Structure 1
Amino acid sequence: MMNMNPLMKLCKKGALNNVAIPLLQYAPTTNNQRVAGFEVAPGDEQPKVFTTDNLLSRTEIDDLIEAAYRQIFFHAFAWDREVALESQLRNGQITVRDFIRGLLLSKTFIDSFYNKNSNYRFVEHCVEKVLGRRVYSEREKIAWSAVVMTKGVKGFVDELLNSDEYISAFGENTVPYQRRRVLPGRANGELPFNIKSPRYDAYYRGKLGFPQFVWQATVRSYKPQDQKARAGSPAQFLDMARSISPRGAAPQQLSALNVDFLNAVPYRK
């Protein structure tokens, strides 16, 4: 990202969109999504499928739209929402696949993922979010990066959504999700994409000034609510009492031989 030659700069800007380069061939590896699952009963790790194959109520279509935002944006603020696309989806004018395409081409996604990452990193994000799996290898990453270079972001998004893998996995009416997170014989499944794949790469994270490490001299400890002192409890003033450290007056060191009894005893004149 930092030392790009003129050709790479033109590629990043999509200036070579008219150059036709076929998608490079890459061999799929044995990832979780290619292994048949064996689940006795559905658990918490099994993804919930949101689809419009059945007639949905207003609440169900709202849940589907929120699931699409979580899959593509991870979180959508009020100004990130695509109101026109939501209206078209609710009225049946577009399919779920069209709605996903609109989110991928929205200003929020372009600013947050394309402009803040290299082509390779951008490909990783899109493959995880759209195809629901990690990239197989560096060769697949290079192959999709060449599509971004030659056809731009729109052409790359169309290639992903029109691919046989996407059509067979999600079709026209299903929101993409992370496939095969759990395998038999493994204690833990795969982490969600949004946890193990930061939005920005290392270059932009350093440029934006995070993560920031703050070292503290004291270690914070957690205390349950029922063990915390309530209002008026003497325990709240214990630290203040310890900080005072009161000291009594030291006793006088006097000897009976040094006392002038005649003058010290009062008498009436």
Structure 2
Amino acid sequence: MIDITDCEKFSDTGDSDVALPLLNYSPSSQNQRVDGYDVGGDEKPRVFSTDDLLDSTDMDALIDAAYRQIFFYAFKWDREPFLESQLKNGQINVRDFIRGLLLSKTYYNSFYEKNNNYRFVEQCVERVLGRQVYNEREKIAWSIVIATKGIQGFVDELLDSEEYVSNFGFNTVPYQRRRVLAGREEGEMPTNIRLPRYEEYHRSILGFPQSIWQTQVRRFVPQDKKPTEGNPQRFLDMARKISPMSAAPARVTTADINIATKVPYRKVAS
């Protein structure tokens, strides 16, 4: 890698066939560059590799893990059966399978068209290299690669980089590295939560997120907890809904009562 001043020298030559090399950027985070002691737990990512396959179900789990890493979720029409067949037959390795997913129509429509180049760099770096971008200079450097070499050239640069090969090699599905941070109570957020598929501009066009206010609190009751036919609970609910209409009793005061006529008394015989 060379500095930005060297790139300006290339541009002054006037030769349009010379591709600009990747700009130099300095890592600003040490999480991915320091070998730490990771304690196993639920948040530690599971490593999927063709070197550890025991049967065909493990291969299916590896393919699903690759879809989750790149697409987050793949519907039936998002899957690539030809690439899956090549991977199962040993014609391509896992890195080539990841390359095919990144260059697929689904990834192009779902991520490239819904984001600008800088955010698209963030999406790809986190999903392919398993880490966040170091700084703005790195995003600018990879954005220049997209502008000069296109998406295919950008994907090839990522997958052929020393960082990718040294961490994942040719047979391991990429995953989010250093998910658990020993110096903090909470680790890094998962990529699909921290980076939604649509950027803020496209989310505003589609009109979401929307705030939905409900004046009535709805409680979820499981099917096995709901009263069946003949259950007295259903009659109790029906009885509570009945509001009988009855006339209110007349209000009588003591001033309206004639004590002499209303109070009985005994007559003494003469």
Moved more, 234-243 or 193-202: 234-243
The range that moved more, 244-253 or 156-165, is 244-253
How far apart, CA to CA, are the structure 2 residues paired with 1:224 and 1:126?
Answer: 41
Task: Map 1:145-224 to 2 at 5 A.
Answer: 145-221=143-219
Pair 1:31–1:237, CA change in 2 (3 A): farther
Report the residue type matching 2:227 in the other structure. R
| Identical residues among aligned pairs (%) | 66
For 1:230, which of 227, 243, 252 is the aligned residue?
A: 227
In structure 2, the residue corresponding to 1:124 is in which secondary structure?
helix
Report whether the alignment pairs 1:20 with 2:19: yes
- 1:106/1:253 Cα in 2 relative to 1: closer, same or farther (>3 Å)? closer
- Aligned pair in 2 of structure 1 residues 250, 221: CA closer, same or farther (>3 Å)? closer
Matches within 5 A, 1:102-117: 102-117=100-115
Contact 2:128–2:158 (Cα < 8 Å) also in 1: yes
Conserved in 1, the CA contact under 8 Å of 2:53 and 2:59? no
SS of match in other structure, 2:140: helix
The offset of 1:223, in angstroms, is 6.2
Return the match for 2:94 from 96, 102, 111: 96
Equivalent residue, structure 1, for 2:268:
none
Q: Structure 1 210/158 Cα, relative in aligned 2: closer, same or farther at 3 Å?
A: same
Give the gaps of 5 or more residues in structure 1.
1-16, 258-269
Given residue 149 of structure 1, which amino acid in structure 2 is its aligned partner? A
Structure 1 residue 185: deviation in Å?
A: 3.6
CA distance in 1, matches of 2:248, 2:76: 71
8 Å CA contact retained: 1:32, 1:182: no
CA shift for structure 1 position 217 = 1.6
1-side partners of 2:205 and 2:65: how far apart?
31
SS at match of 1:146: helix
With normalisation by structure 2, the TM-score equals 0.80
Q: Cα deviations across residues 87-115 of structure 1 (Å, max 9, x unaligned)?
A: 11111111111000000000000000001
1:67 to 65, 77, 102: 65
Aligned in 2, Cα 1:45/1:251: closer, same or farther, shift over 3 Å?
A: closer
Q: TM-score, normalised by structure 1?
A: 0.80
Cα pair 2:95 2:173 within 8 Å, conserved: yes
Following the alignment from structure 1 to structure 2, what is the Cα–Cα distance between the partners of residues 33 and 253?
84
C-alpha change, 1:171 and 1:249, in structure 2 (3 Å) is same
SS of the counterpart of 1:111?
helix
Calculate the aligned-residue CA RMSD, in Å: 2.6
How far has the Cα of 1:221 moved from its partner?
4.6
- Give me the whole-angstrom Cα distance separating, in 2, the residues matched to 1:170 and 1:27: 22
Q: Does 1:82 align with 2:107?
A: no
Which residue of structure 2 aligns with residue 13 of structure 1? none
1:51 is matched with 49
Deviation at residue 116 of structure 1 after TM alignment? 1.0
The 3 A distance-change label for structure 1 pair 210 and 251 is: closer
Between the aligned partners of 2:21 and 2:143, the Cα distance in structure 1 is 12
Deviation per residue, 1:64-89 (Å, 9 max, x gap) = 11111111001111111111111111
Counterpart code for 1:71: Q
Alignment-derived partner of residue 130 in structure 1: 128
Tell me the secondary structure at the aligned position of residue 185 of structure 2. coil
Secondary structure of residue in 1 paired with 2:50: coil
User: Relative contact order: is structure 1 or structure 2 higher (C-alpha 8 Å, sep ≥ 6)?
Assistant: 1
Q: What displacement does 1:132 show?
A: 0.3
